[in-house]
């Protein structure tokens, strides 16, 4: 039985809490969408109310095991201060003397945020000494990072080996809501997968094709598959690892819906031109950045039939308005269908926030890959670690 934050006496205790504060920034360094930060507040406020000492940690981006300014969590500390109306001390490392000193000096009701755990390669290698050092700063560990629950990383699965551990409120809510939704889901189920992070998603295609009535693929995942199968000459092109998985994907499966056209730019020359064209007309000098209008119509026809929709990942590079049309077509088709809609992932919630559509969907999960992994019935390493 999994323990939750309520099962512990937390007053005066140093509580290490793992969140997923993986947010995007605009060109001026402003946080674009703080949905994940807002969703962390119930756990933080509960612990503050109990006069615990809060040591918060998270990853941000993929800095490849070394410090990178644009992946710093410092802006997250400032945003937390705005919401909590109290100081959140930012500690410029998650291990070493600075972190140790800051943790020791804490009083009840105080909060520190440690710098990005992925600034150390030990995090993604699930190095146990690294996990043990961080664990030594606290008396107990709470995992509230649903978005990263599918990763076998030190602060997700390593730390629970050294401390009494449990779930936070966000993790609990995500698991309960997603489990309930899957139990009472009505067919037809339409799953829509896009986005740029494809390694986790591509491995789930086989399962999704079994469980869903329709699987729609857009965005990078779709065009890498099409390029890998020789049906699109323009990029993005799949790497070796993706090519291996591709061998097992049967794109003639009638449940699978792939793009038939694309919005693209000339790769060199800073986007010298952009156009829409059927797949067969694309050339290797061009890069696809959105689904095309024909594809939008075909996808909308499929979505129209749905009574349950699971959507993870925009189908185009929506940050550039020229390439937001595909994701807007998908969003509008889901809204029109009146299907029960579960949407997940930082990019997707960022897109919906930008177009003021968040309220139109039934449940917005903070997890992308984690949500799909859970919905497809795979074990989440974060939960297995807490069960142990
Ligand atoms: C996400 O944005 O899906 C989570 O924060 C996990 O990030 P990752 O894919 O870099 O592990």
For residue 121, what pLDDT is reported? 98
Task: Give the integer Cα–Cα distance in Å for 116 and 40.
Answer: 16
For residues 221-234, average pLDDT: 95
Same structural domain for residues 197 and 278?
Answer: yes
270 pLDDT more than 70: no
Positions marked catalytic: 36, 197, 346, 369
Q: How far is the CA of 165 from the centre of ligand 1 (A)?
A: 22
Q: How far is the CA of 298 from the centre of ligand 1 (A)?
A: 30
Same structural domain for residues 138 and 224?
Answer: no
User: What confidence tens digit (pLDDT) does each residue in 161-197 have?
Assistant: 999 999 999 999 999 999 998 888 899 999 999 998 8
Q: How far is the CA of 9 from the centre of ligand 1 (A)?
A: 31
Task: Name every protein residue with a CB atom under 6 angstroms from any ligand 1 atom.
Answer: 20, 22, 62, 147-148, 151, 197, 345-346, 368-369
272 pLDDT more than 80: no
Same structural domain for residues 189 and 167?
Answer: no
Looking at the CA of residue 62, tell me the nearest atom of ligand 1. Answer: 10
- The best mutation among 37, 148, 170 to test binding of ligand 1, ranked by most ligand atoms within 8 Å of the C-beta, falls on 148
Same structural domain for residues 52 and 90?
Answer: yes
For residues 276-286, average pLDDT: 94
371 in any annotated domain = no
Looking at the CA of residue 347, tell me the nearest atom of ligand 1. Answer: 2
Same structural domain for residues 336 and 203?
Answer: yes
Q: If you take atom 1 of ligand 1, which residue's CA is the nearest one? A: 147
Q: How far is the CA of 164 from the centre of ligand 1 (A)?
A: 25
| Residue 386: partners with Cβ closer than 8 Å, 6 or more residues away | 2, 3, 143, 160, 165, 166, 167
Residue 107, Cβ density class (10 Å: 0-12 exposed, 13-18 middle, ≥19 buried): exposed
Same structural domain for residues 22 and 92?
Answer: yes
Q: What residue numbers bound the domain in which 324 lies?
A: 185-355
Same structural domain for residues 142 and 168?
Answer: yes
Give me the number of domains the chain comprises.
Answer: 2
Range among 26-30, 122-126, 266-270 with highest mean pLDDT value: 122-126
pTM here is 0.93
């Amino acid at each position: 039985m999994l323990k939750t934050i309520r099962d512990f006496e937390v007053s005066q205790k140093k509580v290490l809490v793992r969140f997923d504060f993986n947010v995007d920034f605009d060109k001026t360094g402003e946080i674009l969408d703080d949905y994940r930060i807002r969703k962390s507040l119930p756990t933080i406020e509960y612990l503050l109310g109990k006069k615990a000492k809060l040591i918060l940690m998270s990853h941000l981006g993929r800095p490849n095991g070394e410090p990178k300014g644009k992946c710093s969590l410092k802006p997250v500390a400032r945003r937390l201060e705005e919401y909590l109306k109290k100081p959140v001390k930012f500690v410029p490392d998650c291990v070493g003397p600075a972190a140790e000193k800051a943790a020791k000096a804490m009083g009840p009701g105080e909060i520190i945020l440690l710098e990005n755990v992925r600034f150390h390669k030990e995090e993604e290698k699930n190095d146990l000494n690294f996990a043990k050092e961080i664990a030594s700063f606290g008396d107990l560990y709470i995992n509230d990072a649903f978005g990263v629950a599918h990763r076998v990383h030190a602060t997700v699965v390593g730390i629970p080996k050294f401390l009494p551990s449990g779930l936070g409120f966000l993790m609990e809510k995500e698991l309960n809501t997603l489990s309930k939704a899957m139990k009472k889901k009505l067919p037809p189920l339409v799953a829509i997968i896009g986005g740029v992070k494809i390694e986790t998603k591509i491995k789930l295609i086989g399962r999704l094709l079994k469980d869903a009535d329709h699987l729609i693929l857009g965005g990078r995942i779709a065009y890498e598959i099409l390029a890998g199968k020789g049906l699109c000459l323009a990029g993005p092109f799949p790497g070796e690892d993706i090519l291996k998985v591709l061998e097992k994907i049967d794109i003639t499966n009638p449940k699978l819906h792939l793009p038939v056209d694309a919005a693209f730019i000339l790769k060199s020359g800073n986007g010298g031109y952009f156009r829409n064209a059927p797949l067969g007309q694309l050339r290797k000098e061009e890069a696809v950045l959105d689904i095309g209008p024909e594809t939008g119509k075909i996808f909308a026809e499929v979505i129209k039939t749905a009574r349950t929709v699971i959507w993870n990942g925009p189908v185009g590079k929506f940050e550039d308005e020229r390439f937001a049309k595909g994701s807007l077509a998908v969003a509008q088709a889901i809204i029109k269908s009146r299907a029960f809609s579960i949407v997940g992932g930082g990019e997707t919630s960022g897109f919906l926030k930008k177009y003021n559509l968040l309220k139109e969907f039934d449940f917005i999960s903070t997890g992308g890959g984690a949500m799909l992994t859970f919905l497809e019935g795979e074990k989440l390493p974060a939960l297995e670690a807490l069960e142990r």
